Amino acid sequence: MHQQVKQNIKGVTLLEIVVVLAIIGVISSVGFLQFSKTTSAKRSLAIAEGIKSVFVNASTQINRGEYPYVRIEFGANKVSLKGIRQSDFGKKINSGELECTDTAFEDSLTIAEYEYNKDNRTEVSAAPTSSINTICFSKGGKYFENNLDNNEKIEIDSSALTYNWVTICDKNIGCKLNAGDKIGLSNKEGTKFIIKFSRFGVVQLFRLSKGGVWKPI
């Protein structure tokens, strides 16, 4: 006699569906948060490297000799590199007009430009609230001038304290640094980078890690 085996098919309860959806939601949120952090870090790093490239370009132009005096200009969302040619360099020295001013660079040539913060998600400490912030370089550092509004010297690596820095951070975390701010800044969410430059055109890029340690990139 053939015996039919009954299968007891158990339905899924509403509570089980809710629990599964909740788990999926948590996993999705964590994944999205991690993706957002990664995207933010890449965006800030790209901007930091773009700004650094302008500094490197400035040093290259000086060493080549075609533009013995150059100026980096930070606007609200753009950094520009302008240069005074060799033929005008001597004239401005002799006339006493070789200064890191708008007047001195009025007829200068724009060598390079880099736009940053197009999506308004990144903060650059050198970006001014009005007008422009400037840095001028010359071969040997003789006519170097830093006109950024960096109020205090800070320690970036084991070398001496310096005013010569530009920070790049996620928007609205307080990217502007004072002497003792880096530990507090390192504990905030988001990525933080700093460009250190010297009067001789040496440029370095660092990332701020936990505990306020600047690690070179």
Q: In angstroms, rounded to a whole number, what is the distance separating the alpha carbons of residues 170 and 184?
A: 15
What phi, psi does 114 have (nearest 5°)? Answer: -140, 120
Q: In the prediction, which pLDDT does 55 show?
A: 97
Closest among 50, 204, 198, 74 to 137, alpha carbons compared: 198
Q: How is residue 14 written in tokens?
A: 């509403």
Strands (E), the chain: 69-74, 78-84, 109-115, 122-124, 133-138, 145-146, 165-170, 192-197, 203-209, 213-216
Q: Answer whether 74's CB lies under 8 Å from 132's CB.
A: yes
pLDDT per residue of the chain (217 residues) written in tens, 0 to 9: 445 545 554 556 777 677 667 676 555 444 433 434 456 778 889 999 999 999 999 999 999 988 999 999 999 889 999 999 988 998 988 888 899 999 999 889 999 999 987 777 888 888 887 778 999 999 999 999 999 988 777 778 877 788 899 988 887 666 766 555 555 555 565 668 889 999 999 999 998 877 677 889 8
| Closest C-alpha to 85, from 57, 103, 60, 105 | 105
Distance (Å, whole) CA 176 – CA 148 = 11
CA distances 141 to 62, 136, 198, Å, are 10, 9, 9
Q: Which residues contact 216 (CB under 8 A, 6 or more apart)?
A: 157, 204, 205, 206
Amino acid 32: pLDDT = 36
Asked if 165 and 196 touch (Cβ cutoff 8 Å), the reply is: yes
pTM confidence score: 0.77
In the prediction, which pLDDT does 175 show?
72
